[in-house]
Chains A and B, each alone.
Chain A
Amino acid sequence: MSEITINIDGKEIKTQEGEYLLNAARANDIFIPAICYLTRCSPTLACRICLVEVDGKQVYACNAKAKDGMNITTTTDAIKSERRAIMEVYDVNHPLQCGVCDQSGECELQNYTLEMGVDSQSYSIKDVERKDKDWGHIHYNPGLCIVCERCVTVCKDMIGDNSLKTVPRGGDALDAEYKDSMPKDAYSMWNKLNKSLIGLTSGEEMLDCTSCGECASVCPVGALVDTHFIYKSNSWELKQIPATCGHCSAGCQISYDVKHASIANPEDKIYRVMNEWNYVSLCGAGRYGFDYENANVTKDEVAFHKAVEAFKKADTIKFTSTITNEEALILEKLKENFGYKLVNNEALAFQTFLKDYSQISGTSLYGSNLKEIAQSNFIVSVGTAIKSDNPNARYSLNNSLTVNKGAALQEESVLYLLLDLFADKEKLPSEISAYLKTFHATKTITVEETIKETIIEIVKTMKMNEETGLEEEVEEEKSKIVPKKISKEVEVDDNKLFELVGAPKDFSETLEKLLAKKDSFSLVVGADLYAHPHAKNLARLVALIEKYSEFKLVMIPSLTNSLGVALINELSSDEGKYSIGYNTKGDFTLSALGDGDFHMPAMNQQEGTLTSINKRVNPTNAALSYGGYELNDIASVLGIVAKNTIDYTRELPTAKGFKAQKFDTLPNHYTNSGEEVRGYELENLAVPHAEDESVEKIDSSLSLGESLIYLVNPVRQFSVFTNKATNLDEVSGVYMSEEFLSKSDFNEGESVRIKSDKGELVATIVSDNKIAGNIVCMPTFDSKLNSEVLFSGYRFTSASIERV
């Protein structure tokens, strides 16, 4: 890729060679109409409205690549008439019911119809009956659908669910005379559109996907609408509040759309969550889990005094990582002044892992981010249930082939395998290279090969002798190619590591084929590693892989702001006598859920910054008002005085990579070129590192029993906050994969007692078809279930399950 200059409508612009013309134009604020194109997806070529002229030839801007010195004209008379005809076609049989349509006001059909000045209609076709369909959380109105296929494209290319497809529409074919009378592109676009509608890939009545709602958000018209939003509000009445999603560490940019709750209630209410779908995709929790606010809280002075008293009495503050950087800093300041112990085991594990990693890497943070992951073509993820831990990370590695192994405690072997396969052995510390060699052996195996052999057959046939008129037997030679199997003995490299990670037999060949055209590699590691009994060793292995191979590295922080907490707070592992719990159970509990001893604002009622997986400090604004006291008020009474919580934004520790910037100066948007202008990026500081790069060998003594339980939330659930949201209605219980259920004699809905060596609990069985493999999962989003009692920190445990 090199920088080139192209000329659009007389304006010289610089772009990358091979960039799509549409993207190049958009990045330079040149308008080319386009309906079906989505920036991060492959061009669909359904709408054909992005037609432009390049050096006298008409091309589609969405799939034409830029070459040096191109001359592009965005509008000519011919293109104008094509575009107008296309818009007229889109308006054929489109109901004129903008008044009741939810998309009205932000409808691209409305916009482009006006833009192209369509004031009369020349085409017509008999309509077919198109009935509304209720697909669960999405409502499809085919009457409004213009079959731009954006929903299909985004579901396939971005989300990876592939739940939508085009289905036949039925009805009449186009009038033959249009073929000659209409502009060419408009006719072929209509011809295609007239044959299809959108349907479900599964062929069933209900959507069964990860329920992200991205299809509804990209829909240019009101055909796909979130069921919870139907006829609730006109888009122009909603005020958009730019924010950062507070459910996981991806830190997606979202906007909360708020309006007064009703005529009777002038208080603001969040009606929906919107995203810049060209540049960021949301998951179901981000899109539908918005109403978790701590509502109707007033300033209760008595409770406030009790809270202050509790702070004076306490020696420990327990908290979760669903907290802003500013509040984490307040806690840190409280700790410095009053000697509290800060307890957050999940963040502590991540902090320790980062420190161990820095020992070898010499940098305070991992080197890559999700954007680079999305651009690389070979990605390995270790130790994370990526679908539910960080959906956005999953979107960025969508479309890459993954070999999933739900194997507990094999993480060391996997990392060793990566070192073995990809690391530069010359540069690796010699002991490690030597250790890796011990896994290799040459072995002779018998390979069955099929070769094609030509056989000549002599066939006798009866033929009429024309001369005599008699039938004669004639011998003919026919050559025939038949496959033949032969056995051959070959010498191959036998890598025991494959066996250790439990890879299937032909894994090494599959891998070889996969690797054929790959040139950029990424490694994503997750929370299983941080709490692993050998976490320290794993951290060092991960650092070695990053250092000695081409792999780029991303670590998924376990919760929303685990990275921020790990950088800001000095955490300790042991609790004192009297603890304050912030969003977690303590002797005195501060809770944003409204179930504690003292009320706190929820994430959508706070302003502050969150540190994301992309090492970015993203600002978030308060969407809803909050009438009670917050942590800053308590700290102010205790002597750590600030007017607002966000006054701490510029005091975030620069020694850890933060910048001394005021909250109000932090931007939160994307530019037309897709550049993320949000907050600022953490500086990846150089830290003193040890010369010692040795790592422990694989500990084969570690093993868990047969019946494994994995601590993971279902898709769309992250925490108690997502559990509170009304639109996320996942049933809580013990999740069993369909495979597990079919093998065992348990049935869905039964109550079972689960016993591990740490503790036991009773839960209801929920069948989950989104879990692959033979495994049982326990969620953490339901505080009533209290699933932590089974686990000792590591996300896998062996347990016995029996009916109650």
Chain B
Amino acid sequence: MHNEQFNNRNVSESYFLVDIEDYPTDGWGRFKRVVKRTFRGELFVGLWVVLREMIKFDIHTIQYPQEKMPIGPRYRAVHEMKRLWESGTERCIGCGLCEKICISDCIRIDTKIDENSRKEVSEYSINLGRCIFCGYCAEVCPELAITHGGRYENASEQREHFVMFEDMLTPIDALKAGKQLEFEGFGAITPHEDERVKKTPLSY
């Protein structure tokens, strides 16, 4: 890679000055500008554009919120909790690494022992008012359980908007319908991972 493009610090070369009139400095000049702007009919120019496009019926704007832009698979919006494909149980094992690594300290987990003597996440919350969507939690998760999702609408009545485990978890019918998507961003398995793993010998 060549560094010449960085070495040339003469930025003015490809720049040009836009032809803009100087701002008026005295009262008379300001008065003239007001009169000019008022009677130029720019309002009607704008109105004509709207009218013209309306008649054409060839609309390019996206009808948000009925319609949404497709977003990239690595986009980091509100978190999702994934389920295991085979059994449908939640992937989260309650290891608490996301809680530990979270740099804005917005994740909290309560765990307990369940009736099958397994660790159970009894409560899980993310304070979206503090979350900076850095992706560390998804990266550190050993089970690919917590990931980011595509839901970016965070409008809320209060600053401390929490998201609970149940809200993030893939609905079981969505899983059965095969609609759960694996996250491709932070923490996802890199291609050819199998080839790089050292295998443990087994005596079975």
Contacts and interface: CB of A to CB of B under 8 A. Distances in A.
B100 interface: yes
A646 B190 CA distance: 58
A236 B100 contact: yes
B1 interface: no
B120 interface: yes
Q: Tell me the interface secondary structure of chain A in the complex.
A: loop
A123 B203 CA distance: 9
A466 interface: no
A99 B100 CA distance: 12
Interface stretch (A227-235, A397-405, A446-454, A473-481): A227-235
A232 B143 contact: no
Contacts of B100: 234, 236-237
Residue among A99, A121, A175, A233 with max Cβ neighbours from chain B (10 Å): A99
A126 B203 CA distance: 5
A99 B93 contact: yes
Nearest to B100: A236
Contact of A123 (B97, B109, B125, B201): B201
Interface string B31-72: 000000000000000000000000000000000000000000
A263 B125 contact: yes
Contacts of A99: 93-95, 97, 142-143
B94 A122 contact: no
A119 interface: yes
A132 B118 CA distance: 11
A122 B94 CA distance: 31
B95 A104 contact: yes
B118 A119 contact: no
A171 to B, nearest CB: 11
A627 B196 CA distance: 57
Contacts of A232: 111-112
Contacts of B159: none
Contacts of A120: 198, 200
Nearest to B122: A262
Contacts of B94: 99-100, 231
Contacts of B123: 262-264
Contacts of A104: 95
Nearest to B120: A231
Contacts of A236: 100
A119 B200 CA distance: 10
B203 A231 contact: no
Interface string B87-122: 000000111110110000000111111000111100
A236 B118 CA distance: 20
A98 B94 CA distance: 11
Contacts of A262: 110, 123
B5 to A, nearest CB: 42
Interface string A238-276: 000000000000000000000010111000000000000
A172 B94 CA distance: 34
A98 B140 CA distance: 14
Contacts of B108: 260, 263
Contact of B111 (A175, A233, A264): A233
Interface residues of A, number: 27
B18 interface: no
B95 A98 contact: yes
A233 to B, nearest CB: 7
Contact of B202 (A122, A124, A132, A233): A124
B126 to A, nearest CB: 11
Contact of A125 (B99, B119, B203): B203
A262 B122 CA distance: 10
B15 interface: no
Contact of B113 (A126, A231, A263): A231
Contacts of B198: 119-121
A100 B95 contact: yes
Contacts of A263: 108-110, 123, 125
A282 B24 CA distance: 85
Given A99-B93, A100-B119, A237-B96, A124 B201 contact: yes
Nearest to B121: A231
Contacts of B117: 132
A237 B107 CA distance: 12
A147 B202 CA distance: 21
Given A99-B143, A124-B202, A231 B119 contact: yes
Contacts, number: 59
Contacts of B110: 262-263
Contact of A121 (B97, B112, B201, B204): B201
Contacts of A172: 203
Contacts of A233: 111
A136 B113 CA distance: 15
A10 B99 CA distance: 44
A793 to B, nearest CB: 47
A791 to B, nearest CB: 43
A214 to B, nearest CB: 22
A193 B187 CA distance: 37
Contacts of B120: 231
A124 B200 CA distance: 8
Nearest to A97: B93
A189 to B, nearest CB: 18
Contacts of A264: 123
Nearest to A126: B203
A277 B55 CA distance: 84
Interface string B178-204: 000000000000000000001011111
B166 to A, nearest CB: 13
Interface in B143-191: 143
B142 A237 contact: no
B96 A234 contact: yes
Nearest to A104: B95
A262 B97 CA distance: 17
B99 to A, nearest CB: 7
Residue among A98, A100, A125, A132 with max Cβ neighbours from chain B (10 Å): A100
B143 A100 contact: no
Contacts of A234: 95-96, 99-100
Residue among A122, A124, A175 with max Cβ neighbours from chain B (10 Å): A124
B113 A230 contact: yes
Residue among A122, A132, A234 with max Cβ neighbours from chain B (10 Å): A234
A232 B110 CA distance: 8
Contacts of A260: 108
Interface in A68-114: 97-100, 104
Residue among B99, B109, B142, B203 with max Cβ neighbours from chain A (10 Å): B203
B96 to A, nearest CB: 4
A122 B200 CA distance: 7
A100 B93 contact: yes
A97 B99 CA distance: 18
Contacts of B142: 99
B99 A100 contact: no
Nearest to A119: B198
A119 to B, nearest CB: 7
A518 B108 CA distance: 59
Residue among A126, A233, A263 with max Cβ neighbours from chain B (10 Å): A263
B112 A231 contact: yes
B112 to A, nearest CB: 6
Contacts of A132: 117
Interface of B: 93-97, 99-100, 108-113, 117-120, 123, 125, 142-143, 198, 200-204
Given A121-B201, A231-B120, 7 more contacts: A99-B93, A99-B97, A99-B142, A99-B143, A124-B202, A126-B203, A231-B112
29 contacts: A97-B93, A99-B94, A99-B142, A99-B143, A100-B94, A100-B118, A104-B95, A119-B198, A120-B198, A120-B200, A121-B200, A122-B201, A123-B201, A124-B200, A124-B201, A172-B203, A230-B113, A231-B94, A231-B119, A232-B112, A234-B95, A234-B100, A236-B100, A237-B96, A237-B100, A263-B109, A263-B110, A263-B123, A264-B123
Nearest first, the 9 closest Cβ-Cβ pairs linking A and B are A99-B95, A124-B201, A100-B119, A231-B119, A234-B96, A120-B198, A124-B203, A121-B200, A126-B203
